[in-house]
Chain A
Amino acid sequence: MGNTVSATASQAEAPATFAPEFAIESEGLTKVFRSRWTGVSVRAVDGVSIAVRRGTTFGLLGPNGAGKTTFVKMLLSAVHPTAGRARFFGRDTFDPPSRRPIGYLPENHRFPTYFTGTGMLEFYGALSGMDSASLSKRIPELMELVGLEQRWARVRVGKYSKGMLQRLGLAQALMHSPALLILDEPTDGVDPVGRLHIRGILKNLEQQGVTIFLNSHQLMEVEATCDEVAILHKGRVALTGRVKDLTAGKGYRVTAVDVPEPLVTELGASASAYSVHENEAEFQFAAREAMNDALDKLRATHCQVESVIPTTSTLEEVFVKAVQQ
């Protein structure tokens, strides 16, 4: 099994008007499903705004019915938003060329069973604009990369196991060397060894600068793979942040901007950890009293407090807390 990615991420074309540091941006993305007959409406996604930095791995979490799949489908234009907009590398996602640098693996995929492994990769590769020479070169590489033996290349996918279909689906998503991978439960049905293997592939891709957007229920997997997460609940973003911050330990994470240096030092002394990035300072406090004391001092010096996030020790705890709130 090869564990390296041979191709590099394709460079997405971005118009000059847009800040290229974000692979995905959504602004107030909303979807209301209305029944044509009864008039009953369901707000599946409610004003979701997120930004995924280029080259990072981002996890989208949420309980069943939180709106994750609808959100992803809106990104990919399979579902039309009721309100809001989304962009891939600065281009409106509704514009088909904006999807050129995207590789996607849906959750409940139903690959046509008449395809052979090779046939399926050829078809989806061609839809992504690949020529036959590139397809011939890329298919054996990817079969090896995802751990599918060559003898399966000419076998119809109807004969594949669930785990093999996931691997083939991942190969399909990687066919045109995308700059952004959107994966919906990529390790679903894959055995533990296979999961580790796929995780390794994703890690390699991230190192090559590929942005990965992971929609998963596997909290441990997200914790191990993602830099940032957003937790959706009832269609809204319940919590978002960097995984290392959210799982920094029980306590509170305070983020403020334009904090004078002496105050940073003073608050840092009472914090369990702190860091400064450009004009933004972050402090981790173990106790509520220390956090409140810090807030008082920040207010007294007219600093802008960006956020106060309760932190716990595992992503699972963060998740449960966010959803229960």
Chain B
Amino acid sequence: MRVTLALVIDTFREALARWIFIGMFALSTLMILFFLFIMRIDIVEGGTAAISLFGQTGPRTQDVARLVNNVYGGIATFLYTWGMAGAVFASAGLIPRVLEPGRIELILSKPVSRAHILLGRFLGNVLVVTGNICYLILGVWIIFGNKTGIWAPRFLAAIATTVFTFSVLLTVVVILGVLVESTALSTMVTMALMIISPILAQTALAERLLSSETSRNIWRGLYYMFPKVYDIGNLTLNTVRGAGASIEWMPLWSSALFGVVMLTGALAIFSRRNF
């Protein structure tokens, strides 16, 4: 436990020293202020509301709860995407950096297993991002709650889905980090996975457009294999809006499985590497 704590604290120290933590905190603050600035929701006669964006009021009033839920849903999806992309960009270097020559040998000389070192660093990285995601989403939630008087706890589900998806994507950063020690490549591949996710999610369209069964199988295989960033985003939206009667678990467990496979692979590579 002491060793794990030391590795987590070290990750926080590095994130602070390299302005990652402060940078993410500042950007999140800007985002919160941005929402505060652009969005005004006015409760009118108790039952209706008008929403204005950049001072432009919509043509009609809506049921306040539905409106707020929709706004919450939209913002949750936006924060999910933005928060995760920002977190990947900001923290991708934290894993490869610890493997630098002259640094890793000293850590490996300590009575700590390689798996413990890597998992401790991974946990530290996840916690750095969790702190920031909590700040961002809670901040927006508090502003909205105060503005509308409607406190939708479902909005906070975005914290869980964002941190979960980030953790899955971080496993890609970890395996590439131990394999090639390149922050740039780790970031590129992770972003590619985020970008390809909404394309692969169009399975129904692909079934219609692709002529051969082999192509359709490849599409399905890729869809099930890679993390479902887009589907989990939709899951976040539906959960926050309260639209979904039941949760679709497949995107969650298949993404978790992907993460476990990546992390296991990273541990296997790390334990065999020479430094």
Contacts and interface: CB of A to CB of B under 8 A. Distances in A.
B105 A106 contact: yes
B231 interface: no
Interface of A: 33, 73, 76-80, 96-100, 102, 104, 106, 108-115, 119, 122-124, 126-131, 172, 182
Contacts of A106: 102, 105-106, 109
Q: Chain A: interface secondary structure?
A: loop
A114 B111 contact: no
B105 A73 contact: yes
Interface string B94-136: 0000001111111111111100000000000000000000000
Nearest to B98: A112
A131 B14 CA distance: 22
Given A80-B272, A96-B111, A126-B5, A109 B106 contact: yes
Q: What is the interface residue range for chain B against chain A? A: 20 to 34
A99 B110 contact: yes
A137 B17 CA distance: 26
Contacts, number: 85
28 contacts: A73-B105, A73-B274, A76-B105, A76-B108, A77-B108, A77-B109, A78-B274, A78-B275, A80-B274, A96-B111, A97-B111, A99-B110, A100-B111, A104-B106, A106-B105, A108-B101, A110-B100, A114-B14, A115-B13, A119-B13, A122-B6, A124-B106, A124-B110, A126-B2, A126-B3, A127-B3, A128-B110, A129-B3
Interface of B: 2-3, 5-7, 9-10, 13-14, 16-18, 100-113, 272, 274-275
Contacts of B103: 109-112
B210 to A, nearest CB: 36
Contacts of B272: 80
Contacts of B13: 114-115, 119
A122 B2 CA distance: 11
Nearest to B3: A127
Contacts of B18: 114
Contacts of A96: 111-113
Contacts of B100: 110
